[in-house]
Amino acid sequence: MSKYIVCLTFDFDVMSGHIARGRITPTPISRGEFGIIGAQRIVSLLKKYDITSTWFIPGFTIETYPQICKEVVKHGHEIAHHGWTHVPPGSMNRDQEESEIIRANEAIMNLCGQSAQGYRSPAWDLSPNTLELLIKHNFYYESSMMGHDYLPYRVRQNDVINLQKAMQFGNKTSLIEMPISWSQDDHPHFEMRNDLNRSGHRNANSVLENWIDDFIYMTQITNWGIITYTCHPYVIGRGHRMLMLERLITKLKELGASFMRMDAAANIYDNLEPLQTQTKY
């Protein structure tokens, strides 16, 4: 196994993100619906290269499209938590957020026979209650924060933030952070956002070049590392982007990458850096 790990992750939102923003007319619904086409293409591509990945799937998707979700499980991919709907936790109170965590975990349990090990917040937006709830419900890792690019780290709780004072860092927890970045997410590069009057639609080859360079830089400055790419089936599933994804896979393989599920990658970090050996701030 290479000391440089790639986690391909797929946020299988379908139309839940549009519904959460109140966009329920036929066209935005159909944009999400295309995610089923994209998911089928992705599953086939990963099978071709014998790669397992992690799929963050809202409970809404699992219950709306159970068959394709079963296909994802069948091919050995991890099913992780992505809320029940795609409503950002910051817009819910604690009881509402916990209810969504429980309801989505029940859907995941029914799909694959076990609760989710990992959590990724809709829109990468955590509430003041999220971390406490993840620990309460026995999550192993979290993947919504950006404090590193190549190394996991332990999630802190209870930071004290006062603009007139130096920041006081809270205690580290057992929860492992598998960091992400907007630059390694397909959505801001490729998708139009009507509510922000913003259009992506960048040339896929320019994004591909950036993503490969991010991996190369990791190999130059670290002894080992994990890089995460975040894709959405209704985004990456378009033809020219699927070709980009395949070129990414083949190039990273040439460069010696090991592809693995995020739960397995988090476990490697956990073994290399047990909580009691973590450097304190």
Task: Report domain extents, the chain.
Answer: 4-277
Q: What is the pLDDT of residue 18?
A: 87
CA distance 118 to 249: 23
**CA dihedral of 98, 103, 104, 105, whole degrees rounded to 10:** 90
Q: Which of 54, 135, 65 is nearest to 101 (CA)?
A: 135
At the fourth CATH level, which superfamily is domain 4-277?
Glycoside hydrolase/deacetylase (3.20.20.370)
Q: What is the pLDDT of residue 281?
A: 34
| Residue whose token pair is 């890089």 | 227
Element (H, E) at 55: strand 54-57
DSSP code, position 198: B
Other Cβ atoms less than 10 A from the Cβ of 105: the count is: 20
What is the pTM assigned to this prediction?
0.95
Other Cβ atoms less than 10 A from the Cβ of 114: the count is: 10
Q: What is the pLDDT of residue 276?
A: 75
Q: What is the pLDDT of residue 25?
A: 95
CA distance 32 to 25: 12
Low-confidence ranges of the chain (pLDDT < 70): 1, 193-199, 277-281
- For 131-165, the pLDDT digits (tens) are 999 999 999 999 999 999 999 999 999 999 999 99
- For 8-56, the pLDDT digits (tens) are 999 999 999 889 888 899 998 999 999 999 999 999 999 999 999 999 9
- Assign 160 to helix, strand or coil: strand
